[in-house]
Chains A and B, each alone.
Chain A
Amino acid sequence: MELEKNLIDATLEVFASMIFIDIVPESPADHPGDEPDANVFSLIGLAGDLKGILTIQCPAEVALGVTGAMLGMEVTELGEDVKDAIGEITNMVAGGLKVALADAGRKIELAIPSTVIGKSIRTSGLSGATRASVRFASPLGRFAVELRFVLS
């Protein structure tokens, strides 16, 4: 499976179709050990032939800019609009991943996304999971899309 490529393709499609902000995937070698400091953290559960959690992690300036671009207005507060917008992006990226996996003969189901706002958020759990992670650069800053998964 080419999960990192699937994540990149799905994320690029969402930003090109509905957000209209240029983003560029980065190689992990470009920023070794340098993870974006996440103030906004959205996750969606995956079940079926691939079980796991897809997350989007972004700093405040990226979340505010992306939300503003989606809503067509300036957004200055990390609140419900931001949680809703980043959650919907996570939902659409997961949807793109679902289509790519279906093409590869693997069927998955998606849960409803959840988003939290805070400082230096980290996740744990899903022991034994494999990690596929992609960083993106944008004019607003960098953000991460990550999948932790176990194949059934």
Chain B
Amino acid sequence: MAKNVLLVDDSSTMRKIISRSLRQAGLDFGEIYEAGDGQEALAVLEKESIDIVLSDINMPNMNGIEFLREKSNRPGIKDIPVFMISTETGEDIIGEAKSLGAVGALKKPFTPDKVNEVLGPLM
């Protein structure tokens, strides 16, 4: 069954690009939901049926690391997989994200081919 995706990024442009890249990559997904920061993402996860989250790290209000930490404390949503899409590629911050449950990371900028390569197995 096609998976519902939540895109979390403070840039509306980036959310549109990721959404378009998913389509261009030919990946099979259901509904796409959007959030502008970690707080908004938590609210969407509590309300909607989301199968996978694609999240930025550097965001105002609640960043991607804080989002992962808070999500891990909420029993109803803690097992929903999160994939990081960010300019942050340092081993320390990606390592921290993975220790909090992130299942992988994709560096910005990216091409649709790269999206297909790294996200295809998750879809």
Contact = CB atoms under 8 A, between A and B. Distances in A.
B87 A91 contact: yes
Contact of A94 (B10, B20, B87): B87
Nearest to B59: A112
A13 to B, nearest CB: 6
Interface string B91-108: 000000000000000011
Nearest to B91: A102
A50 interface: no
Nearest to A86: B13
B58 A110 contact: yes
A17 B28 CA distance: 22
B111 A17 contact: yes
Q: Taking chain B's interface residues, is the majority helix, strand, or loop, or is none over half, making it mixed?
A: loop
Interface in B1-20: 10-14, 16-17, 20
Contacts, number: 59
Interface stretch (A67-75, A117-125, A133-141): A67-75
B30 to A, nearest CB: 21
A78 interface: no
A110 B10 CA distance: 15
Q: Taking chain A's interface residues, is the majority helix, strand, or loop, or is none over half, making it mixed?
A: helix
A71 B12 CA distance: 10
A51 interface: no
B110 A17 contact: yes
27 contacts: A13-B109, A17-B111, A18-B108, A18-B110, A18-B111, A70-B13, A70-B16, A70-B17, A71-B13, A72-B20, A81-B12, A84-B11, A85-B11, A87-B11, A88-B11, A88-B13, A88-B14, A91-B11, A91-B108, A94-B87, A95-B108, A96-B87, A98-B87, A99-B89, A102-B90, A112-B58, A112-B59
